[in-house]
Amino acid sequence: MPPSTVPTSDDDPESRLSEGVRTFISLLLFVHLFALGLVFFSNFEGSDWDSELLRRMKIVVRPYLYPLWLDRPYHYHLTYAEPLDFDHYIEVALTPKGSSESTIIRLPEDDLGIGLRRQRYQRLAWHFARRTESQTPDDLLPLTIGAGLIKQHTAARAQVRCFRKRPLFLDEVRAGASTEPPDERLYAADVFFLPGNALPQLNKIGEARDVAPVKRPSDSGSQGPPNRESQKGSSSGAGDRAAPLRNPLFPNANSARPASAPPRSPPTEK
């Protein structure tokens, strides 16, 4: 008896539906499961596990899966404790017309409790950070957020910024030496409308970060290598491993990835 079923007097599955109906339903099920399998196996795009064939096949099933919100990466890693897994927030400084004093709007607000609303804003900020840090950065979110807030508050201009909050580092907490440095500013841009132009304009401010990229919060030397870069020279503790061998299938691949390196491309979703 299969799971979650109850016996019935006419338990023989073949007696309940005609063969034609069963065949038709089976075909639909097979197509659906095949499409799901493709999504599952092709969602490692950008990694060494990427397959050109799977990626191309996925293009065929995407128009079916995407409208149903099934074309999703089902490899939620929850956290890698990497910079992109830290909390992010967006700050918008709105300058009213005819004034030089600006009002600050923070998304999510500091006093917004834990819950769906806070996570929604954090997700927006996460996408903001992800897109601005990707190898092909774009200004889609800063533009739309800045323009929307200018309209809502009839402001003259908006400065849109994205910040990364520094988490607690394991080694520092263990040493009782946790400090609170300023949040890392990832992005800043002025958004404004030119007279007679309905499209918002954007001026990026400073390409360099305000604070140097931070390391991973779980890194410390007591149980293993602080990061993969230092692992190369490490020969003690649990991280006592041989230098990574090159994979003969990928002659140019090097598995060593410094902790401060930009996220995988495209960055994985949680």
Partner 1 sequence: MPNAQQSYLNNLSSEFGRGWNRFWFTPAAAAPLGLIRLVFGLIALWWYLSYIPDLAFFFGPQGIINSPTVEQWRGPYPVFSIFDWPQTAASLWFTYWLGLVVLVLFAAGLFSRITSVAALLVVVSLIHRGPMLAQPMEDVLAMVMLYLCFGPSGAAFSLDRVWKRRTTSRLEDNIAAPPSIGANISLRLIQIHLALLHFGMAIGQLRDDSWWMGRAIWGFISKPESGYVDLTWLSDHLYLLNLWTHGIVVFEFAFALLIWNRLARPILMAAAVLVWGSIGLVSGMLAFTLVMLGATLAFMPAEWLARRRSHEAL
> Is 243 a residue that touches partner 1 (CB under 8 A)?
no
User: Looking at the chain, which runs of residues are DSSP E strands?
Assistant: 88-96, 103-107, 155-164, 184-193, 200-204
User: If you search the block for the tokens 């539906």, which residue do you land on?
Assistant: 17
Residue 187 contacts partner 1 per CB under 8 A: no
In contact, 263 and 130? CB cutoff 8 Å: yes
Confirm or reject binding of residue 242 to partner 1 (CB under 8 A): no
Question: Which contacts (CB < 8 Å, 24+ apart) does range 18-22 have?
Answer: none
Task: Say what angle helices 19-42 and 52-65 make with each other, to 10 degrees.
Answer: 120
In the set 18, 52, 67, 212, which binds partner 1 (CB under 8 A)? Answer: 67
- 106 touching partner 1, by CB under 8 A: no
DSSP output for 82-150: SGGGS-EEEEEEEEETT----EEEEES-TTPPSSHHHHHHHHHHHHHHHHHHSSS---HHHHHHHHHHH
CB of 215 to partner 1, least distance (A): 12
Among 106, 127, 229, 260, binds partner 1 (CB under 8 A): 127
Tokens of 229: 């870069």
- Answer yes or no whether residue 189 interacts with partner 1 by CB under 8 A: no
Q: Is 198 in the site for partner 1 (CB under 8 A)?
A: no
Report whether 121 contacts 145 (CB < 8 A).
Answer: no
Task: Give me the least distance between CB of 98 and partner 1, in Å please.
Answer: 20
Q: Which is nearer to partner 1, 206 or 247 (CB)?
A: 247
User: Does 4 participate in binding partner 1 (rule CB under 8 A)?
Assistant: yes
**253 near partner 1, rule: CB under 8 A:** no
Instruction: Kindly state whether residue 45 participates in binding partner 1, applying the rule CB under 8 A.
Output: no
| Number of residues in contact with partner 1 under rule CB under 8 A | 82
Task: Give the interface segment with partner 1, choosing from 33-41, 50-58, 185-193, 243-251 (CB under 8 A).
Answer: 33-41
Residue 81 touches partner 1, criterion: CB under 8 A: yes
- Who contacts 57 (Cβ-Cβ below 8 Å, separation ≥6)? 38, 42
Rg (CA), the chain: 25
Choosing from 168, 177, 194, 249, the residue that interacts with partner 1 (CB under 8 A) is 168
Would you count residue 2 as binding partner 1 (CB under 8 A)?
yes
- Distances 203 to 18, 148, 160, 197, 259 between C-alpha atoms, Å: 66, 16, 10, 16, 30
For residue 214, state whether it binds partner 1 (rule: CB under 8 A): no
The reply to whether 17 sits near partner 1 by the rule CB under 8 A is: yes
Give min distance, CB of 39 to partner 1, in A.
Answer: 9
Residue 252 CB, nearest distance to partner 1 (Å)? 19
Per the CB < 8 A criterion, the answer to whether 190 and 202 are in contact is: yes
Nearer to partner 1, 208 or 249 (CB): 249
- Would you count residue 72 as binding partner 1 (CB under 8 A)? yes
Within positions 132 to 161, which residues make up the interface with partner 1, using CB under 8 A?
140-141, 143-145, 147-149, 151-152
Closest among 56, 22, 28 to 41, alpha carbons compared: 56
